[in-house]
Amino acid sequence: MALTALDWSILTVFLLFPLVIAARSAATAGQSLEQYFLAGRQLPWWLAGTSMVATTFAADTPLAVTGIVAANGVAGNWIWWSGALGSMLSVLFFARLWRRAGIPTDVAFVEIRYSGRRAAVLRAVRALYLGLPINCMIIGWVNLAMAKILNVTLGWDRLTAVLAGLALTGVYVSLSGLRGVVLTDLIQFGFAMLGAIAIAAFALSDPAVGGLDGLRTRLPDETLRFLPTLDQGVGDTAALSLAAFLAYLGVQWWASWYPGQEPGGGGYLAQRMMAARDERHSILATLWFTLAHYCLRPWPWILAALATLLLYPDLADPESGYAFLIRDHLPAGWRGLVLGGFVAAFMSTMSTQLNWGTSYLVHDVYARLLRPHANERHYVLVGRLTTLLVMALSAGVTLHLESVRQAWEIVLEAGAGIGLVLILRWYWWRVNAWSEIVAMLAPLVGVLVLRLSGGAAFPESLFVIVAWTTVCWLAVTALTAPETDDTLETFYRRARPPGPGWTFLARRVGAPAPGPITGQLLDWVTGVAMIYGVLFGAGTLLLNDTILALPMLGTSLLSGMWLYRRLTARGWGSPTR
C-alpha cells in the first residue's frame, strides 16, 4: 500500500503527540509511586472510564473479531460478549470496594484480606505471575496484531514492526506514568473509533459487498445469527456451536481471569478504579467502560469482518483480512488516518499493559520484599527501567505467537476457575490465602493434563478445568484454618462488604451487621438487560430490520433510566434492599 505525503504527515502526528504528553507529564509522574502508577488518585470518571475502554481497544481486537466471525459467524463474539455479565458485577459490586480499599495495586489486596507469610508469598507470586508471563503474553498478542497490519499495509517484517512499536511506546510510558497514559488514551480512543468506522464504511461500499443489504442477501443466515445454531458443520457455514455458547455464557465470564474481564474487577480496571477521585467516580468510570466496550465499539468491527468474508473468502489467515481492507479499500488521506488510529489503539493498550504490569513488579515485589525503605524517586526510577525490561521480554513472546485468538485461549484456560475465588474473597469470610493459591495453580495443572492426554479443546475445556479448580480450592478451604479474627475484622471494617457471607464473622467480633445485597443483584440484572439491549438492538437495526430492534432498544432505555435512578437515590454508595 502506497502512502502519500498527506498520509505520512497524519501518521507522524499520531506518533509524536504521545511523546509531547509524556514530556509534560514526566515531572509530576516522577514525584512518587502514587503519582506514577495511580495519577495521585484524582482521575475523573470520564477520563478513567475512557482509559479503560481505550486499553481494551487494541490492534489485536478487530483482527481477532475478523477471525472469530470467519470461524463462527457473528455469534462467535460471545467469547467476549459474555464478559458483560462480569463487567456489570464490577460496576455494582466491586468498583466502590476497590476505591475504598485504598491500596496501590489489586495484588496488594491479599495482604489486607489474608495474613502471615502465606499472604506475603501469595502477593509476590501473583505479582510475578501477572507482571511477567501473563503480561508478556498480552503484550505479545497486541504486538502480533500490529505486526500483521504493518506487514500487509507497509510490507514490514514482524521483527521490524515489533521493535518499532515497542521502542516508541516504551519510551513514552516509562516517562509519563499513568497520568500521561490516560490523557493519551482519551485522544487515541477517539481516533481509533473514527478509523474503525471508516474501514467498515469503505468496505461496505465495495460493489462486491453491496452495503448492508449485500451482507443480508449474500451471506448465509447462520453467519449473521446472534445466537448459536444447532446445525453447525453443514457445508462451509460458519456458526457457533451450542457447547461453545454454554461455555462462554455459563462458565467463562465468572470463572476465568482475562484482562479487562476479570471477575471481581481486578487488573488494569482496578488500577483505574483505585485512581478515581472517589467511590462515585469509580462506579461511573466502570459503567462508562462497560457501555463503550460492549455497545459502542463492536459493530464497526463486525461489519468489516463480514465484508472480508465476501471480499477475501479464501484467506489462509482470516485475521489478516482486516489488514487487507486497509490496504485495498482506503483512499489517500484516510490511509494515514486509519493507520494512525491503529497506532493510537496499539499504543493505548501497550502503555497500560506496561504501566500496569510494572506496578506489580515494583510495588509488590521490589518495594515490598527487596528494597522496602528506599525513597520515592528511587522507586520511580526502578519503575521506568522495569518498563523497558518488560517491553524487551514481550518482544520475544510476539515472535512465537501465530494468532491473536490462540493467545486469548491460552490465557482464558490458564485462569479458568480462579474467578469464583476472586469474587468470593470479598463476600465470604471463610476464603483464605490457601484458597487463592490453589485456585491459581490448579488451572495450570488442568491445562497440562488435558494437553498431554488429548482431552477437550477450548472452549469445552473450560467445563473440565473450572470443575477441577473449584473442587480443589473448596477442598483446601475446608481443610485449612480461616484467617485470624483480627485480620478478618480489620478487612471487614475497612471494606464494609455487604451480604450474608460476613454475618457470622460480624456477630463473632461484635462488628456492625453487613448490609443487604438483594438490591445490588436486582440492579445487576437490570444493568445486564441495558447492555445487551443496546448491543443486540443496534445489531438487529443493522443486519435485520427496524421493527425487531425497537423492543430491544426500548428495554435498554427503560433499564438504564431505572438503574440510574436507583444509583442516584442512594448516592452511589451502599446497597439497598
Q: What pLDDT digit, counting tens, does each position of 235-276 carry? A: 445 778 888 899 999 999 999 887 778 888 888 899 899 999
The CA distance from 130 to 125, in Å, is 9
Q: Does residue 320 fall inside a structural domain?
A: yes
Q: What is the CATH number of the domain that holds 286?
A: 1.20.1730.10
Q: Does residue 446 fall inside a structural domain?
A: no
Are the C-beta atoms of residues 144 and 398 closer than 8 Å to each other?
A: yes
Q: Does residue 427 fall inside a structural domain?
A: no
Q: Write out the three cell numbers for 268.
A: 488494569
- Bridge partners of residue 416, in order along the sequence: 256
Residue 331, pLDDT score: 86
The CA distance from 4 to 11, in Å, is 11
Residue 237, pLDDT score: 58
The CA distance from 481 to 333, in Å, is 65
> 321-329 and 158-204 helices cross at what angle (nearest 10)?
70
For the chain, what's the residue count? Answer: 577
> 298-311 and 321-329 helices cross at what angle (nearest 10)?
80
Question: What's the number of CA atoms in the CB half-sphere (13 Å) around residue 449?
Answer: 11
Q: Does residue 280 fall inside a structural domain?
A: yes
Residue 441 amino acid letter: L
Which residues touch 449 (CB under 8 Å, ≥6 apart)?
Answer: 455
Q: Does residue 176 fall inside a structural domain?
A: yes
The CA distance from 281 to 287, in Å, is 10
Residue-range definition of the domain harbouring residue 132: 5-238+260-410
The CA distance from 201 to 199, in Å, is 6
Residue showing cell 425497537: 550
Residue 236, pLDDT score: 47
Q: Write out the three cell numbers for 303.
A: 461489519
Phi and psi at 402, nearest 5°, equal -110, -35
Nearest partner of 104 among 368, 391, 354, judged by Cα: 368
Q: Write out the three cell numbers for 238.
A: 460458519
Residue 171, pLDDT score: 66
Q: Does residue 561 fall inside a structural domain?
A: no
Q: Does residue 501 fall inside a structural domain?
A: no
Counting the structural domains of the chain, the total is 1
Query: DSSP letters of 65-119?
Result: HHHHHHHH-GGGGHHHHTHHHHHHHIIIIIHHHHHHH--SSSGGGHHHHS-HHHH
Are the C-beta atoms of residues 228 and 244 closer than 8 Å to each other?
A: yes
Residue 147, pLDDT score: 79
Q: Does residue 434 fall inside a structural domain?
A: no
pLDDT along the chain (577 residues), means of 10: 76 75 72 81 93 83 90 93 94 92 90 93 91 86 79 75 68 70 82 89 95 93 85 58 90 86 85 92 95 93 96 90 90 82 73 83 91 89 86 78 75 90 95 95 94 87 95 97 94 92 92 90 96 96 88 95 89 56
Per DSSP, helices labelled H in 360-460 are 376-398, 404-414, 419-427, 433-453
Sign of the Cα torsion 206, 211, 217, 223 reads positive
Residue 466, pLDDT score: 95
Residue 230, pLDDT score: 61
